Amino acid sequence: MASSIGSSPFVLETTTSSAQVFVVPESRRNRCLRLGWDWHKRGLLSKNIRAEANGSNGTNGDEDGSEGVLQATTEKSKKVLAWQSNLLQQIAERKKPISYELSDKFPPNNSSPHNASTSGHNAVENQNGGIVWRKYVNSSTYSDTIIESEGNSISHEGSNESNQQNGSISRVNAVETQKSGTFVRNYVHSNKGSLEVTSVGINGGFDEVKEENVKIPTPKMSSSELYFTEQFKGKKYQAIKPDSDTLQAFLANGTETSSIKVENQEGMSETRSKLITEESSTVDGEGEISAPLAGTNVMNVILVAAECAPWSKTGGLGDVAGSLPKALARRGHRVMVVAPRYGNYAEPQDTGVRKTYRVDGHDMEVQYFQAYIDGVDFVFIESPIFHHLDNNIYGGSRLDILKRMVLFCKAAVEVPWHVPCGGVCYGDGNLVFIANDWHTALLPVYLKAYYRDQGLMKYTRSVLVIHNIAHQGRGPVDDFFFVDLPEYYMDIFKLYDPVGGEHFNIFAAGLKAADRVVTVSHGYAWELKTSEGGWGLNGIINDNGWKLRGIVNGIDNKEWNPMHDVHLKSDGYTNYSLETLPVGKAQCKAALQKELGLPVNEDVPVIGFIGRLDNQKGVDIIGEAIPWMMGQDVQLVMLGTGRPDLEHMLRQFENQHNDKIRGWVGFSVKMAHRITAGVDILLMPSRFEPCGLNQLYAMSYGTVPVVHAVGGLRDTVQPFDPFNESGLGWTFDSADSGKLIHALGNCLLTYREHKKSWEGIQRRGMMQDLSWDNAAQLYEEVLVAAKYQW
C-alpha cells in the first residue's frame, strides 16, 4: 500500500478517502484502543500475523518459517512495550500539562464517516509533548502496523472472511514512534467501492424486490464538524497542512516527527485544554496505565430506556439507566445510554444528526442530543412526539404510547451507526444492546427482523431486562400493524390468556427475540416463573429459562451517599457518615420536620414512604393502617404521584391530621433525598417488588426499612433477630394492613426501648457495599454470554 496525501494531511497508508480530525479525550481514546486490542487478542479476526523487518509493511508472500515470524513478533512486541513503559514513566513524572498552539484550519472532511456498519474518524491528542493522530474503526475487521523508531516494523493483521464476502473490508493501519515522543495512529474503514445493502432496514419495505440495492444515507454533518460544534463553540482553530515532502519523509522514517502547531486565537480554557492533555490522569503513581477491570471482555454497550435519572424518572428504572452504565464504564467498557428527550435538558448538546423514520404511515424526523458524563455517552432522541411529557412520560392513550415507543426503538437501534460520540461512532461490532421493560422490548425484535435476518449487524446482541412484568404493552392483535414488521412476525406477538383472550403483547415478543434476559433480583426471577408472578408470561419465561438470570440492582454511591449528598448541604440539613450518624441524622430529622411544617421533636419517630401511588406499591395498605399509626405518636411523610384517588387520599389524611401527616403529591429528587436522610423508618408494603431501590437508599442513610417480603425486598432486607443482634429491618409475609401493623409495631418498640439494638441495625445497613460495581460485574458476565451466543 502507498501513502495517501490529499486534502486530509495525515492519512497514513489508507485505502479509503481522506480522513477527518477530532480532539478525543484520552479516556475515550484508551477505551477505543482497548476495544480494538480486545478483538485482536480474542482471536475474532482470522488473518495471519506477519512480521517483516526494515520498516516494510505486511505483504503477501511465502508462509514458510511461521515459527520464526512468531518469535520475531514476540521480540518486537517486548521492545515496544519496554519503550512504552519508559515513556509512561516520564509522563507520570511530568504531571504538568503542555499547552499547544493551534494554527491553520483543520482539514476538511472528504470521507463519509457513517457508511453502514462502520465509521472512521481521526483524532488529535497530546501525549506529553508528542502528537497523537488516531483514526478509529468500529468493525469486526482490522489490521495494526507498529513502525518502530529503528525502522523495523511488526504487522498484525486480522480479517473476517464473511465480511470480505459481503464486500465490507475494514483495515487499521497504525504508525507509532514512541521513542521520539510522537505517536501516530490511523484507524481506517475501507470498502471495496461503496457499501450496498438490500432494501431492508428500519424503514426498508419487506414487500419490495430484494434485488433492489440502496445506499445507506450519511448524516448531514460530518463527525468532525459535530464534535467541534459541541466542544469548541465560538472558538477559531487552525492547523498547518504539511507539505508532501514532509509527510513522505515522516512515513519513510519513523524516528522523524511532524511539526504540528496548534493555536487558539481567542484563548483556550483550562477545561478544554484537558481534552487535549489528559494522559497524566490515566497513569498511576508508578507510571503504568491500569488495565480495564473487564480485561479481554471489554465491549461496546448501549443501554436503551424510556427514562433516565436525573433527567426523567418515575421509579427504579430511571435510577438504573442513570447508574448501571457508569459502573460498566468503570470496568473499561465503552457505554452509551439512549433515552427520549422529554424536555430542554441543559447538559446534552445537539449533534447535528437528523434521521427520518416512518411511524403509522407518517415520516417523523428525530434529532440526537449528546452529553459525556462520568465516562458515559448520554444520547437523547428529540422529536415533537416526546414534547411536553417531562412530568408524565407515560401519558396519553395506549396508541400514543405505542407510537412513541415504535419511533424510539427504531431510532435507538441505529444510534451506533449515526451518532459520533466524541467523534467516534460505536459501530455494530462487539456491541450489545441492553433494552429495559416493554417500552424498549421492540428493539431486540427490530434488531433481528431488520438486520440479523438480513445478514447485517452479525456481531450485535441484545439483552432484555425485566424491571416490572406487570406492564407488558398489551393491546388488540391489530396493534401489530403499527410496529412495521413483516407479517410472519405476528406470531411472536400473539399471546393467549384466560382473561383477555388472544392479544398483542410486546413484552412477549421481546423475551423471545432477546439473546439473554435479566431481571433485577433472584427472588423476582423465581416469581416470574410462577402463574401468580408471571402475569401471563410465565410460560414464555419458563420456555426461555435457560437465558434468564436475576441480578440485584445497586445504587449510585456518589449520588446516594449521606457523606456527599448535595441535597443535604442547605436548609439546616447536614452530611453525615457512619462515625457521625447519631448527630447527623438527628439534625436532618429536625430540618425535615421544620421544612414540612411538622412539630420538631427528636423523640417522635418519623415514618416515610417514597414511590408511585398505585396498587403495586401498597399505598392503600398504608391508608388502612394510618388510623392505628395516629394512635402511636408518630409522624408520617409520603412522597409520590400516581392514581388520582390515592393522591386524593394523601391530601385528605393530611387535612385530618395536619400536625402528624404530610402528603407531597408529585415528585422531587431533592425531597426524596431529604426524606431518606430525615426519617427513622421507611415503609415499603409493595404487593410485588422486582428489586426496589428505596430500601437500599434507606439502609445506606441509616434509615430502617419495614417491607413486604417479596422479590428484591426479600433478597435485600434480612429480618432483625434480637437474640443474635443481626438483621437489617423488619419484614411481613402478606400484603395486608394487619401484617404491616404487626411488623411496624415491633419496629417502633425497638426504636423506643432498645436504642442499642436500633443503632446496630442502622450501622449494619450503612456498612454494606450496595454499589453498582458488584452488579456491573454480573451484568458483564451476561453480556459476554450473549456475545458468544449464535
Q: What is the pLDDT of residues 284-300, one digit of tens each?
A: 444 455 788 888 899 99
The more confidently predicted of residues 21 and 756 is 756
Mean pLDDT of 462-477: 94
Q: What span, in angstroms and rounded, lies between the C-alpha atoms of 399 and 442?
A: 15
pLDDT at residue 31 tops 90: no
Q: Which of 11-20, 83-92, 210-219, 581-590 has the lowest mean pLDDT?
A: 11-20
**Residue type at 88 in one-letter notation:** L
Q: What is the pLDDT of residue 204?
A: 53
Tell me the CB-side half-sphere exposure of residue 15, using CA atoms within 13 A.
15
The answer to pTM > 0.85 is no
Whether the pLDDT of residue 382 is over 50: the answer is yes
> Among 248, 209, 169, 175, which Cα is nearest to 9's?
248
Say if residue 432's pLDDT is above 50: yes
Q: Which among 219, 20, 21, 36 is positioned nearest to 140, based on CA atoms?
A: 36
pLDDT tens per residue across span 106-159: 333 433 333 333 333 333 333 333 333 333 334 333 333 333 333 333 333 333
**Mean of pLDDT over the chain:** 75
Query: Three-state SS for 461?
Result: strand
Mean pLDDT, rounded, for 9-28: 40
- Specify burial of residue 396 (Cβ count, 10 A radius: 0-12, 13-18, 19+): middle
Q: Is the pLDDT of residue 422 over 50?
A: yes
**Average of per-residue pLDDT across 478-497:** 94
Model confidence at 445, pLDDT cuts 50, 70, 90, reads very high
Beta-bridged to residue 340, according to DSSP, are: 381
The sign of the torsion formed by the CA atoms of 440, 441, 442, 445 equals positive
**Grid coordinates given for 177:** 514512534
In the chain, the amino acid numbered 623 is G
Lowest mean pLDDT among 274-278, 566-570, 678-682: 274-278
pLDDT digits (tens, 9 = 90+) for 543-564: 999 999 999 999 988 889 999 9
CA dist 192 and 627 (Å) reads: 76
How confident is the model at residue 30, as a pLDDT? 54
Q: Are the CB atoms for 245 and 372 separated by under 8 Å?
A: no
| Percentage with pLDDT > 70 across the chain | 65
Q: Shortest CA distance to 504 belongs to which of 442, 433, 413?
A: 442
Region 722-751 average pLDDT:
96
pLDDT at 200: 53
Q: Is 397 exposed, middle or buried (0-12, 13-18, 19+ CB in 10 A)?
A: exposed
Residue 14 clears pLDDT 90, i.e. is over it = no
Q: What was the pLDDT predicted at 59?
A: 42
What is the distance, to the nearest Å, from the Cα of residue 334 to the centroid of all Cα atoms in its chain? 8
d(CA 720, CA 726): 6
| Total Cβ atoms within 10 A of residue 497 | 14
Higher pLDDT, 31 or 613: 613
Please tell me the predicted confidence (pLDDT) of residue 28.
53
Per the structure block, which three cell numbers stand in for 492?
411472536
Confidence of residue 203 (pLDDT cuts 50, 70, 90): low
> Can you tell me the mean pLDDT for 308-312?
91
Q: Give the model's pLDDT for residue 78.
A: 77
The β-bridge relationship of strands 300-304 and 494-497 is: unpaired
Q: Which three cell numbers stand for residue 215?
A: 445506499
pLDDT of residue 372: 96
pLDDT at residue 761, as a whole number: 98
pLDDT over 80 (residue 403):
yes
CA angle 259, 261, 267 (to 5 degrees): 160
Residue with cell 422529554: 342
Among candidate residues 101, 116, 133, the one with its CA nearest the CA of residue 8? 133
